[in-house]
Structure 1
Amino acid sequence: GGTANMGMGPLGINTKIQKANFNEISVAEALKNQMEYTHYRVNGRLVARYFKQSASTIDWLEGMGVKFAGAFRYFKESNATWHIVDPGDGKIGPGCASAMNKALTKRAEELGVKFYLETPVKQLLTKEDKVTGLLAESEEAEYTVQAKAVVVATGGYGSSAEMLKDRLGFDLDKNFFTFNVPGIKGEGLKMMWQAGAQKYGDTVEMIYILPHNLEYMVADGVLRQPNLMINQDGDRFMDEGMLGNTTFSGNAMFLQPGHYAYVIMDRAILKQYQDEGPDIMDIVHPAAGFKLLDPVIKKAEENGYEAIITADTVAELAEKLAIPADKLQKTIDDYNSYCDHGQDPDFFKNPDYLHKLTGEGGYLVGKFYSGAYGTVGGVKIDENCQVLDDDDKVIPGLYSAGSDANTIYADSYNFTLPGNTMGFAVNSGRIAGLEAAKYIAK
């Protein structure tokens, strides 16, 4: 299941679930959104085929027993395209999409598919510029498989420190953090490149997270509210009201020294959130977490975890953040004056989010880094998921789907259509299967 096992559900457009809740968005609207968001720097035919098919894919999944809790927005400004999987216990959250993967696996086995686990493919076989099979091996055996078509869907290279550094310049687990899903090492891309595939469009779905955030998910949700955010120089650098859009905020954080930022609140603000609810609601970080923060802070202290910081005074906070105390104090004083006047002359943040930092009860700080769920892209495909060579010609017999071939975002993930990466994975998988079957039947 790869990174999808960490996720919550795929995108769907113009689905029955959306229509039942009056949340429908047309394919035309979604296509316009995606193409304008990416400044038309992506394959419109591929995006259109994916979006047109997405509603039938939700029906297809339901036909295999997948249940959906509904169609949701990620944050207020996004569209309700995120079809979150009901894992069976009614509790939706990170990882609930694994129930979908189990249903897909069960159906595949019913159809006679055999899965060779711990049997990595080592090479694609080619003959006269066609892909004709593959070589694979386990501890017990080696396999030479002759095939008229091969689909490569190995999930990118989000867990390969070497490839992230060489291809994109990121330092994994130092100033850039992913889910580090085991096995997502880019082998499939390397094999396709060796078989003549064009190296194309690989990037990441930039977000921001607390390092190793699955262990500190409660704090990640509480501390990412739109309070004072500064870089290592002690300066604000954006409207914190945009923290709900993790792509925009992750992009901005990546431009800061060290590729991180500090988001600062105090316990008086925390109490306000506990009583009245957070400023920014999202489906991943439920409001209940605001009453569960203290055990996570204690865990962080016991583990020497450096991304959750507490302090009783500005002087103590400045020392812990390694920012000159006079600079930090001035930044806080300036920010508090904006709160007093209900106006942010620097970045024009929504006045509803201007909460004065008094330090009452102590300061609470999250050190958020740029990160990603994983990588996307690496090979160029057409709307039929056929892999293309350096001359944009089809490599017969070679198809790719999912994150290996996901080049529909240009430089930034489109969080206004949430569920997009998992939606592309499921739909491109279907497209690749359908087109490979046609090719084999010729």
Structure 2
Amino acid sequence: MNRKTITALFLVIVMLFSSLTIIHGEEKRFNPGSYSGEAQGFGGVVTVNVDLSDNEIVNITAVGENETPGIGSIAIETLPAKILEKQSTGVDAVAGCTITSKAIIEALENALVEAGANLDKIRIVSEDSAKEKEVKELSTEILILGGGGSGLTAALAADEAGSKVLLLEKMPYLGGAAAISGGQVNACGSKFQAEKGYEDSADAFFLDLMKGGHYKNDARLVRVYAEHVGETFDWMVDKLGIKFAENPAILPEHRVPRVWMAENGAAGYTATILENLEASGVEVMLNTKATELISEDGAIVGAFAEDENNIYKISAKAVIMATGGFGNNKELLPPLLSESLYYGPVSATGDGHLMMQALDIPLYYMQYGKVYPNGIEVSPGFAKSTWHGSIATCRDASTLIVDRSGNRVVNENGLAENIRAKLYEQPDKTLFLVMDQSTFDMFRDLIVNAGKSATQEQVDEWLNNNGSTTPVFAHGDTLKAAAEAAGIDGDALEQTVAKFNEMVAAGVDTEFGREPLMAVGEGPYYLVEQKPRFATTLGGVRISTNMEVLDKNDQVIPGLFAAGEIVGGVHGDDTIVSTAVGWAFTSGHLVGIITSDYVKK
């Protein structure tokens, strides 16, 4: 065999081998077949199943049963199709669903590695040719900017009154801060409250609100809130069909039981509101961000907005600002909130506040926000709430609150603002819950099943870490062992618990006056961190009692209304528990009725 023949055979062999990895001129990307991968999502494990040909992702399905309904579930439903379209994992996360989105991508990439994929190549997204956005003109009677609690109730109330309503929401889902709140709503003055046997009045609620805001509130708006919250609650029950628990929450900030938990919490009332929205005539545009208000001769006559493909010029007889707060915009935060963990919606970036500033509309109370003393740090700067577990186990069990020296510092059943004040006195802004086994079991059940702020899997992971990282869920067979894991003085903690149990036996807390008293029981023992957390900002525009936005001369701006968290003043420098959500619903319901009357004139 001569050299030319050998060379020819070699080339044939090379071509044959090449054909195994190149199909129609393209390099083979995968070993075809069906694969599966897993990753940790926001609420638990996310599983992704993928079908592959030699060169193409054929099908993707994602499953995440514990992801937040209406938020993380949006990523589960929409991101696989986006990846499939781009044939790449280098796509953007779904807005507001970052953790779930990352879990889907990680789980998919785990499956693709098993299929022999080169992840560096899979993450490359072919750039689409730049396309200029098309400008479209729309018109409506009432334009609502923001689809949170106030925006949704405004839309339903206006639709009920016969108005044509268009609601814009920049996120791919509706609900806003109300959808991830504690799920409790004020019922002051409602038929619902009276039927449960509790006497209440607008005057009593007004005084509690003013006291909670340290009398810095805009009393005009507090009166509006107190006088209309009852009718709003009854509307939510009778018209919308929202169901609430049989018994009210007993909270020290409220002189009368007037706070009720919705069935299934915030997720429960959000689902019911969205069912009503679906059955209404309200037009909704998701993934559409309002960017600028349109002003003509001093009146607001519409707004500009945009989505991925279009710019919209929307004409309206009335515009309702329901854009929420600014907790997730560090440039707008005052120092107090900058030192606290954030646990609110990612969408709260102050878009409406910035639109107001662009028109020289003044903002008030921007230095204030609602800080709670029961956060756990789940990632740097971000918190989850243990409110349900912290409050209940201090009230109905033997939970103590101690500092790093192992000493009690406050009446555990006292006002939240007193506990918060002690938190800010600590060098690291941290206190600890001390619980015996039965109390911790109660605590865990409440944060998992009532508050929905953590899953069982997450709590198990935090316990397994045993204080080595945040959030601190330290434990031990003895108090000293638990204290060591949490970085607390164990000897002092043992003395603190012993002294407390002696006071329980004597029937009086001589240190802080706590009532009622229950002794700390047998171990194992648990120490859970408590850090300041906030979601609600209290600053915004000044409005009239008819929900109209006022200019710098305190004059009504025709056509411009506001509701919810973008309104400043109603809470003063603080809020009492559940009043922020109550204000969102009450102001939304009220502004929907008012604007419907306005556009008919």
Same fold? TM cut 0.5: yes
**Matching residue of 2:587:** 428
- Structure 2 counterpart of 1:89: none
Q: Among 304, 318, 324, which residue is 1:135 paired with?
A: 304
Find the aligned partners of 2:384 and 2:419 in 1 and give their Cα distance: 19
Alpha carbons of structure 1 residues 126 and 45: separation in structure 2 relative to 1, 3 Å: same
**Matching residue of 1:380:** 542
Distance 1:71 1:26, change over 3 A: farther
**Contact 1:406 1:424 (C-alpha < 8 Å) held by counterparts:** no
Secondary structure, aligned partner of 1:377:
coil
Q: Look up the match of 1:345.
A: 510
SS for the counterpart of 1:380 is coil
Are positions 1:193 and 2:357 aligned together? yes
Q: Confirm whether residue 209 of structure 1 aligns to residue 395 of structure 2.
A: no
TM-aligned CA deviation for residue 319 of structure 1: 3.1
Q: CA deviation at 1:390?
A: 3.3
Q: Which AA in structure 2 matches 1:201?
A: Y
Corresponding residue for 1:74? 249
Gap change, CA 1:65 and 1:439, over 3 Å in 2: closer
Residue equivalent to 2:177: 3
Quote how far apart the aligned CAs of 1:215 are: 9.0
- C-alpha deviations, 1:395-434, integer Å up to 9, x for none? 332211011115322222123xxx4222211221133233
The Cα shift of 1:247 comes to 4.8
Q: Which residue of 2 aligns with 1:237?
A: 409
Offset of residue 314 of structure 1: 4.3
When residues 226 and 381 of structure 1 are mapped into structure 2, their CA distance, relative to the original with a 3 A threshold, is: farther
Once the two structures are TM-superposed, the CA of residue 152 in structure 1 deviates from its matched residue by 0.9
Q: Deviations over 1:275-320 (max 9, x none)?
A: xxx9xxx99887999xx99976533234655321112344434433
How far 1:25 moved relative to its partner? 1.4
Confirm or deny that 1:256 pairs with 2:415: no
Answer yes or no: is the 8 Å Cα contact 1:259–1:370 preserved in 2.
Answer: yes
Is the Cα contact below 8 Å between 1:123 and 1:135 reproduced in 2? Answer: yes
Q: How many residues align?
A: 411
Higher radius of gyration, 1 or 2: 2
Q: Hey, what does 1:366 align to over in structure 2?
A: 528
CA shift in 2, pair 1:162/1:95, >3 Å = farther
Of 172, 189, 192, 1:17 maps to: 192
Moved more, 64-73 or 114-123: 64-73
Q: Is the alpha carbon distance of 1:36 and 1:434 closer, same or farther for their aligned partners in structure 2, counting shifts above 3 Å?
A: same
Cα drift, residue 154 of structure 1:
1.4
The answer to whether the 8 A contact 1:75-1:283 is kept is no
2:322 matched to 1:153? yes
- Per-residue deviation, residues 347-402 of structure 1 (Å, max 9, x unmatched): 1223x425246xx4332111011113432332222211222233333333221101
Q: Which one of 120, 129, 144 corresponds to residue 289 of structure 2?
A: 120
Cα deviation, residue 84, structure 1: 4.0
C-alpha separation between the residues in 1 aligned to 2:433 and 2:488?
A: 14
Compared CA separation, residues 283 and 424, structure 1 to 2 (3 A)? farther
- Report deviation, 1:169: 3.7
Q: Relative contact order (C-alpha < 8 Å, sep 6+): which is higher?
A: 1
Q: Deviations over 1:126-179 (max 9, x none)?
A: 344433321111111001223343211112023334433xx24434xxx63343
The answer to whether the 8 Å contact 1:386/1:399 transfers is yes
Matched, 1:413 2:583: no
Cα deviation, 1:187-221, whole Å, max 9, x if unaligned, reads 11111122222221243222223335769788667
2:364 alignment partner, SS class = strand
Report deviation, 1:334. 4.4
Report the residue type matching 1:157 in the other structure.
F
Q: Secondary structure of the residue that 1:47 maps to in structure 2?
A: helix
Query: What does the per-residue CA deviation read over 1:88-139, in whole Å, with 9 as the maximum and x for residues that have no partner?
Result: xxxx3342221242144225xx33x221111101122234443332111111
Note the residue ranges of structure 2 that are not aligned, 5 or more in a row.
Answer: 1-174
- Residue identity matched to 1:105: L
Question: TM-score, normalization: structure 1?
Answer: 0.79
Identity between Structure 1 and Structure 2 (%)? 23
Q: Name the CA distance, whole Å, in 1 between partners of 2:184 and 2:431.
A: 29
Aligned 1:271-282 pairs, distance under 5 A:
none
Instruction: Determine whether 1:50 maps to 2:216.
Output: no
Within 1, Cα distance between the matches of 2:313 and 2:187?
A: 38
Give the Å deviation of 1:226.
5.0
Specify whether residues 438 and 288 from structure 1 end up closer, same or farther in structure 2 by C-alpha distance, changes over 3 A only.
closer
Inter-CA distance 93–144: structure 2 relative to 1 (3 Å threshold): closer
Q: Which letter maps to 1:399?
A: F
Query: Counterpart of 2:267 in 1: which secondary structure?
Result: coil
Measure how far apart 1:59 and its partner are: 3.7
Note closer, same or farther for the CA distance 1:183–1:37 as it changes in structure 2 (3 Å cut): closer
**For 1:310 and 1:328, how far apart are their aligned partners in 2?**
13
Contact 1:66 1:100 in 2 (8 A): yes
Q: Is the 8 A contact 1:120 1:137 kept in 2?
A: yes
Separation in 2, partners of 1:288, 1:85: 11
Which residue does 1:184 correspond to in 2? 348
3-state SS, counterpart of residue 425 of structure 1: helix
Counterpart-to-counterpart distance in 2, 1:63 and 1:2: 23
**In 1, distance between residues paired with 2:350 and 2:580?**
17
1:97 aligned to which of 250, 253, 269: 269
Q: Partner letter of residue 254 of structure 1?
A: Y
